[in-house]
Amino acid sequence: MALTDITVRQAKPKAKTYKLFDSDGLFLLVTPTGGKWWRFKYCYAGKEKLLSVGTFPKVSLKEARSRRDLERGKLDEQIDPAINRKAIKASWAGDLENTFEVIARELIQMKSSTWSKHYSDNIIRRLELNVFPWLGQNPIANITAPTLLNILRRIEARGVHETAHRVLHTCGQVFRYAIATGRAERDPTGDLRGALAPVKGKHFAAITEPKAIGGLLRAMDAYQGSLIVRCALRLAPLVFVRPGELRQAAWTEIDFEAASWNIPAERMKMRQAHLVPLSYQALEILKELHPLTGRGRFLFPSPRTSLRPMSDNAVLSAMRRMGIDKTEMTGHGFRAMARTVLDEVLNVRPDYIEHQLAHAVRDPNGRAYNRTAHLGERRKMMQLWADYLDQLKTDAGSVEFKKAA
């Protein structure tokens, strides 16, 4: 006899588990602790099997019968309900492992050996702010170009068009990695070419006209602030490294005897150790600074604590106090200055310059140059550059920089 709602509700626990049968394989399993479990018994390929279809009272008798009928329908189609359920659960688990956020974080972790920590942190932060809240939990294979475009339009609406382009580029990297690892079939970012508003070219402000360079160098030599900042100002054009590499320079990296500065891979943008030959002018600045900060870790420590390097804005603020506007020169601009003048005025081979800038220079066979490649030529180049800067400082025709009123 089929069960009724009252029979199910009034079923009491006994010393042992027992069954109350309904119809077509459905029954209620009552446990000694009072639990009531719906079970569906069926035969498939000559074997008797059981399938859970819920618990009472969360699943009523009517709902249990509906679930039983659904599973019986699968049997009519030669589908084993238990195997089908396992496949669905596996699919769900796969979706969780193949979401956009999971794959993006996996890619960034994989790239950590070649990307700097600063660059990796910027990438993940950009995704956390702009992509993950909306697309992070979506299976990557289900994300379409229109869905991604909606995210990018949201970024553009804030007026940060460059960020939108960077996010699109990063998403493309994630999709291509998913394709390579068999978790997606195509990269929808290719469908969005031309869909975003263009970004006007932006370059770091730099002084590249020789006479103006002479005035800038004299202004930095005459800086009246702290010796630490003054030395950083004077050293920056001689070594033309990135601002972060300069301010975090450590005394253990300086080899006075070899006249070299060895920057470890973890502090470089491309995660490759970099060697900077030091001209005698650069060495003189370091020898002047050493009695003041040489007992600590950093060449240019923070004025608040020697345990940290000086801030990002220390050199920039000093230039502003000297009357050098941000539209004329930035800390990064010393690199553009060196690249331009070494090439166009001093006629140095471009690959020597690019290698000293720690860019991805490759030889004719496509191999990346190592940190000591062309070291002799680069050492001559760095001394030539320092001598040329000295010449510009003594040029009477140089443009002077005066502090703004």
Using an 8 Å Cβ cutoff, are 33 and 13 in contact? yes
Name the pLDDT band for 361 (thresholds 50, 70, 90). Answer: low
Is 41 in the active site? no
- For residue 70, count other CB atoms closer than 10 A to its CB: 12
Give 37-73 pLDDT, tens digit per residue: 999 998 887 788 888 888 998 889 999 999 888 888 8
Give 88's contacts (C-beta < 8 A, 6+ positions apart).
none
- For residue 197, count other CB atoms closer than 10 A to its CB: 10
Both structure tokens of 286: 């370091």
Residue 355, φ and ψ in degrees, nearest 5: -65, -40
Name the pLDDT band for 203 (thresholds 50, 70, 90). Answer: very low
DSSP codes, 87-116: HHHHHHHHHHHTBHHHHHHHHHHHHTTTS-
Using an 8 Å Cβ cutoff, are 140 and 183 in contact? yes
Q: Give 165's Cβ-side CA count (13 Å radius).
A: 12
Give 237-255 pLDDT, tens digit per residue: 999 888 888 888 999 999 9
Q: Tell how strand 36-44 and strand 26-30 pair up.
A: antiparallel
Using an 8 Å Cβ cutoff, are 401 and 323 in contact? yes
| Catalytic residue (one of 36, 230, 234, 242) | 242
Residue 77 β-bridge partners: none
> How high is the mean pLDDT of the chain?
83
Name the pLDDT band for 205 (thresholds 50, 70, 90). Answer: low
Name the pLDDT band for 367 (thresholds 50, 70, 90). Answer: very low
Is 118 in the active site? no
| Catalytic residue (one of 369, 374, 380, 388) | 369
pLDDT for the residue numbered 403: 41
Least confident of 238-242, 293-297, 314-318: 314-318
Is 335 in the active site? yes
Which residue, among 297, 308, 314, 287, has the nearest Cα to 233 in the 3D structure? 314
Higher pLDDT, 289 or 207: 289
Q: Using CA atoms in the order 272, 245, 344, 231, what is the torsion angle rounded to 10 degrees?
A: -150
pLDDT for the residue numbered 298: 92
pLDDT for the residue numbered 365: 43
Give 266-279 pLDDT, tens digit per residue: 888 767 788 999 99
Give 175-195 pLDDT, tens digit per residue: 999 998 888 889 999 999 888
| Catalytic residue (one of 36, 335, 355, 379) | 335
Both structure tokens of 196: 């975003």
Name the pLDDT band for 402 (thresholds 50, 70, 90). Answer: very low
| Catalytic residue (one of 269, 297, 320, 349) | 269
| Catalytic residue (one of 89, 359, 362, 403) | 359
Least confident of 4-8, 31-35, 393-397: 393-397
Domains, the chain, with CATH or none: 5-86 (3.30.160.390), 100-192 (1.10.150.130), 210-393 (1.10.443.10)
Mean pLDDT of 289-297: 91
Is 269 in the active site? yes
